[in-house]
Amino acid sequence: MQYNPGWNGSSVNLLHVRAAGPGDSLHYVWSSIGAPAVLLVATQSPNSTLRVNWTQLLSPSPAGAVWIDPPDSVVYSTAVVFTKLFEFSEAKPLGELFYPTYDLSEFSWDSLNRTLNHSALTAELSGAPATDPGGSFANGSLAFRVTAYEAGGRAERLPSLLHTADSSQLEFVLAGVAPRGNGSRFVLEVATVEEAGAVRRLRSERSIDDEYTPTIFEVLSLVAESQNGSSTLGFLQWKATAYGSRSPRREDGIRCRAQGLQAANWTLPVSSIVQAYFGESLGSSCTVSALNVSFGGEEGQVYQEKRYLSWSVLLGFGQPPRDTFSPLVISIAAVALGTPLAMLLLGSCLVLLARRRRYSEYEPIN
């Protein structure tokens, strides 16, 4: 993990996470320059490195300021941008009432270096609007917590996402922010950037197993596929829940919904890390898609009490991890299904033996 590689200042945030394999390497580049974003690059060289031209990156025209060396080692690259936070309430009988949008590219962000933990491979990017006339962020903040992994496993905290060494987890946290209405609900806008030859698709999978995330039976994945559908290149994966507590429990669950993936007909915020990497192709050959993730139930009364909201999402390369039944669940199911069957077989045998014994002891009168 490198913070602002090649730059001594802390007025901007750029975190480079590199995972090296025997024949390839993966790069995650997190940044709050412009809107918060992460650049994901997979290469076929174990020695590929990130290069940054800081003078150009911080200029009004950052195209070409970020690249991977050697350039021909790159086999896949994509980006995820967190652009806006919407807030609305259901004001009956007038319907939905939207408040002014929080544009995340206009936030002021704290130095990420203060939260960087090299041993735990974690960091937190926290910020608030540069101008806050209503004072909603006077005692609160919006944060993105990043966790990288060295091996496969499962997160300890709910929703206990299953991860691999090729993935990282991001936790979106809204803490202490005063809602601007009764029963306010929040919607996070997420944009993805794909180069020519790849498309994003939204998948939903349901399972009867909620062992690791109680009462949640749906997993959503935003996957990048080659246009011929032959392979999955990258993914975002999350469970259909958020939580309203710093120590989440089942009863703290908040309904989470994905409101459809659409082609974005707007441009990404200027001076972003995404423009610095993709350059001119961002407006020509690249495909930009947007997805809204909403938090809250039909009534909207989810944020008033504790004023805390956390949502976890996994980002990575290749196929998203798939949960399977654990040995414990398989054992319980085997006992639950096997015990009645064993009792039925044992009862049948006892009945047959009783009949044979009764027949053998029968003595005719004559």
Is residue 230 located within the same domain as residue 269?
A: yes
Q: What angle do CA 172, 149, 314 make, to 5 degrees?
A: 40
**pLDDT greater than 80 at residue 336:** no
In this prediction, residue 109 carries a pLDDT of 96
Is residue 118 located within the same domain as residue 213?
A: yes
Whole-model pTM: value is: 0.88
What element of type H or E holds 138?
A: none
Domain that holds residue 103: 2-317
Residues above pLDDT 70, as percent of the chain: 89
Is residue 125 located within the same domain as residue 274?
A: yes
Written as six digits, the tokens of 20 are 């090296």
Is residue 245 located within the same domain as residue 341?
A: no
pLDDT tens string 315-330: 999 999 988 765 655 6
Q: What angle do CA 190, 194, 199 make, to 5 degrees?
A: 95
pLDDT tens string 146-190: 999 999 999 999 999 999 999 999 999 999 999 998 778 899 999
Lowest mean pLDDT among 52-56, 107-111, 253-257: 253-257
SS3 content of the chain, % helix, strand, coil (to 5): 15, 45, 40
| 98-134 core/surface letters (b: 16 or more CB in 10 A; e: else) | eeeebebbebebbbbeeebeeeeebbbbbbbbeeeee
How many helices (H) and strands (E) would you count in the chain? 3, 23
Is residue 245 located within the same domain as residue 353?
A: no
pLDDT tens string 287-315: 999 999 999 865 446 678 889 999 999 99
Domain annotation covers residue 92:
yes
* Residue 204 banded pLDDT, cuts 50, 70, 90: very high
The SS3 assignment for 276 reads helix
Question: How far is the C-alpha of 42 from the C-alpha of 188, rounded, in Å?
Answer: 27
Is residue 48 located within the same domain as residue 83?
A: yes
| Mean pLDDT estimate for the chain | 89
Domain annotation covers residue 323:
no
Residue 120 backbone dihedrals phi, psi, to 5 degrees: -90, -10
DSSP string, 302-357: TSTTT-EEEEEEEEEESSPP-----HHHHHHHHHHHHHHHHHHHHHHHHHHHHHHH
Domain annotation covers residue 180:
yes
Is residue 109 located within the same domain as residue 28?
A: yes
Cβ atoms 152, 169 nearer than 8 A: no
